[in-house]
Chain A
Amino acid sequence: MTSTAVTQRTWWPASAAAVIGAAALGLTLLVPRLFSDPAGVDPFVLRLSAVATALAAASLLTPRFAPTRPVLLAVAAMTLAFSVFAGGPQWIYDISGNRFDFNTQVLLASAAEALLTAVVALIAVRVSPPDLSPLLRLRRFRSAAAIATALGIAAFLLVVLLLPATLLGREGIAPVALARDLPLQGPASILQSFAQELQFRGILLGALDRIAPAWAANLGQAAFFGLAHIAVQYQGPAGAFVPVTIVLGFALGWVTQRTGSLWPAIVIHAVADIAVTVGVIPGLYGY
């Protein structure tokens, strides 16, 4: 078999899975807005999870779909883990009543999100065809990765400070609320960052890197990362946030590819999430 034939055989199924999976999720998310209300009367993350899980199950059960497993499992990890994170605090409250305060509920939901993502990542590595198994890049953290982490954090903070405060919602700091929230919200942000980086820059980018040039793989996962934020922002303003997250996702993917390690992206993402907790003041309609 020629190298051209190998390339054609491998890139097409995963690419088709990414495009068709994204289209199915996009339709599932947006079409109901035509007859339901935009504020969300339904747990929309659950319907995304149901579709993604069904597609991942189809890839596991159908030999013909085997090359799509890494991509479809990555999508299932994104949606299922986000469902657990988004619905977790309410489920914990339903089960345990007032035993845990809201910050503890968020921390527990974040831990469940990270655990579920790790399990799906493990499944993706185990069940994918060997030549398509995603590169999770969790084992390496060399000096280049440490430097990239420090530079990435510095660049992020610089951009945040230079941009207009009202654009980002970082009008001020509320020290009393921070002293109350940060001891639990901080670790929760770290767990969320680990989960999301493992989903996008771990499983998805790791799978696309197997079949496509680095720039194309990175662009693919960045597009997915940006489009996923339509779902996160479903109850609020969605449009303006998507290009920003595509650029952010591309930058984190580039760092991951260049350093060969997922850890810089995890640390930079965690710092960004903690900065949001510290400095972003929510509005009437949430963040």
Chain B
Amino acid sequence: MATERRRRARLLAILPALLMLLLPATVHAATPWWEPLAFSGQRVSGVVALPGLMVVSTASGAYLSSDNGRSFQPISPGRHLALPETLGPIVWQIDHGTVLTAPAGRGLAPDPHAPFLGATAHLIAAPAALPGVVVAVGSDNHVWRRSPSGQWATSFVLLAAGGLAGSPQVTSMAAFTSAVTGAVYMGTNGYGVLLTEDGGDDWIRADPGLPENVLALSADSASRALYAATDQGLFVHHLQAFPAPPAYHDASLYLRWLGIAMVALLATLGAVFGLRRALPRPSSPQGYR
């Protein structure tokens, strides 16, 4: 009888292992958030990506690509490159610390509620997918955001890197000029890239695979990609959904749950059995009641 029980217990114990072997592996690694594109190991100080055209700056000069960064040709010094404009429906600019705006093709005027950002401020981004939303960086490195109603507020303050180190600087802002996503990207020379999807209220780190020192960002709506110039090369992020657990809609979900329930049951029974073996019997003078 005891032998029969032992056999049953062994059978129960190997069932989860059998399930593991029978179930197909349906989990795949997500597409990398950032991937190296070119100039690996080299300092790339600038990138401008336009539909069908990309220009990068490196220590050895400027390079041009017409195939989304798959190959680059050096630009000879002194050659004038006429880059096409890719402005969104509304133009936003910072001029000597004042935020200016106007519909494309009209004369620029100051945004009425915008703060003075400081004489050296120049980083600003406005996603076409969120009309009225603007994120800009002041000379003091504070990040401001404009809500669709026109109100401005401090959106992000970078903290010191630790110990006696100071705060990294915001080096770039980028957003897409067509309505592919409302995300705004902030490049920093120490904290990689952060992004906001709600117009600057909440920020998350979005730099897996990317070096910490980001020197420039550029978004290209046509290729649905964001390019990052870093001190270790040129990187690309293809627009994709945030990582999420896979959803199962077939029998494999129920088999997984069955396996999990069996593991939990076996662990509980094993623990009770272990305690019974470990503790003194009630009849023993050492036992409790």
Contact residues of A with B, CB < 8 Å? Answer: 9, 12-13, 16-17, 20-21, 23-25, 27-28, 31-32, 34-42, 47, 50-51, 54-55, 58, 63-68, 129, 161-167, 169-177, 180, 235, 279, 281-285
B263 touches A173 (CB 8 A): no
Interface string of B118-156 (1 = CB under 8 A from A): 000000000000000000000000000100000001111
B259 touches A172 (CB 8 A): no
Query: Of B156, B245, B267, B280, which is within 8 A of A27 by CB?
Result: B267
Given contacts A165-B159, A171-B159, A281-B204, contact A20 B191 (CB under 8 A): no
Task: Answer yes or no: B261 CB below 8 A from chain A CBs.
Answer: yes
Chain A contacts for B259, CB-based, 8 A: 32, 35-36
A279 touches B264 (CB 8 A): no
Give Cα distance in the complex from A38 to B28, angstroms: 11
A41 touches B245 (CB 8 A): yes
B271 touches A283 (CB 8 A): no
B272 touches A174 (CB 8 A): no
B242 touches A284 (CB 8 A): yes
Give Cα distance in the complex from A67 to B287, angstroms: 9
A42 touches B268 (CB 8 A): no
Of all A-B residue pairs in the complex, the 3 with the closest CB atoms, nearest first, are A35-B20, A24-B271, A39-B245
Chain A contacts for B202, CB-based, 8 A: 174, 177
Give Cα distance in the complex from A39 to B256, angstroms: 13
A58, A166, A180 — most chain B CB neighbours (10 Å): A166
A281 touches B248 (CB 8 A): no
| Chain A interface helix/strand/loop/mixed | helix
Q: A35-B19, A176-B200, A281-B204 known; 12 other A-B pairs, CB under 8 Å?
A: A20-B278, A27-B267, A27-B270, A28-B263, A34-B16, A36-B260, A41-B245, A162-B163, A171-B158, A282-B204, A282-B205, A285-B243
A32 touches B263 (CB 8 A): yes
Interface size class of B (residues with CB under 8 A): 35 or more
Give Cα distance in the complex from A65 to B281, angstroms: 9
B275 touches A20 (CB 8 A): yes
How near does chain A come to B278, taking the closest CB pair, in angstroms?
4
Chain A contacts for B286, CB-based, 8 A: 9
Chain B contacts for A55, CB-based, 8 A: 268, 271-272, 275
B263 touches A27 (CB 8 A): yes
Given contacts A27-B267, A37-B27, A39-B246, contact A172 B159 (CB under 8 A): yes
Task: Answer yes or no: B161 CB below 8 A from chain A CBs.
Answer: yes
B271 touches A20 (CB 8 A): yes
Give Cα distance in the complex from A41 to B252, angstroms: 11
Give Cα distance in the complex from A67 to B275, angstroms: 11
How near does chain B come to A71, taking the closest CB pair, in angstroms?
11
Chain B contacts for A177, CB-based, 8 A: 201-203
Task: Answer yes or no: B162 CB below 8 A from chain A CBs.
Answer: yes
B288 touches A35 (CB 8 A): no
Task: Answer yes or no: B70 CB below 8 A from chain A CBs.
Answer: no
Chain B contacts for A42, CB-based, 8 A: 256-257, 260
> Which of chain B's residues 184-213 have a Cβ closer than 8 Å to chain A?
188, 190-191, 194, 200-206, 208, 212
Give Cα distance in the complex from A172 to B168, angstroms: 10
Given contacts A67-B279, A162-B162, contact A35 B256 (CB under 8 A): yes
Query: Of B200, B205, B208, B282, which is within 8 A of A171 by CB?
Result: B205
Give Cα distance in the complex from A175 to B159, angstroms: 12
Q: List 28 A-B contacts (CB under 8 A).
A: A13-B278, A16-B274, A16-B275, A16-B279, A24-B267, A27-B267, A31-B16, A32-B259, A36-B256, A39-B243, A41-B253, A42-B256, A47-B261, A65-B275, A161-B162, A162-B163, A165-B191, A171-B158, A171-B194, A172-B194, A173-B156, A174-B201, A175-B153, A175-B155, A283-B204, A283-B208, A284-B33, A284-B243
- Closest A residue by C-beta to B142: A175
How near does chain A come to B158, taking the closest CB pair, in angstroms?
5
Given contacts A175-B153, A176-B201, A281-B203, contact A16 B267 (CB under 8 A): no
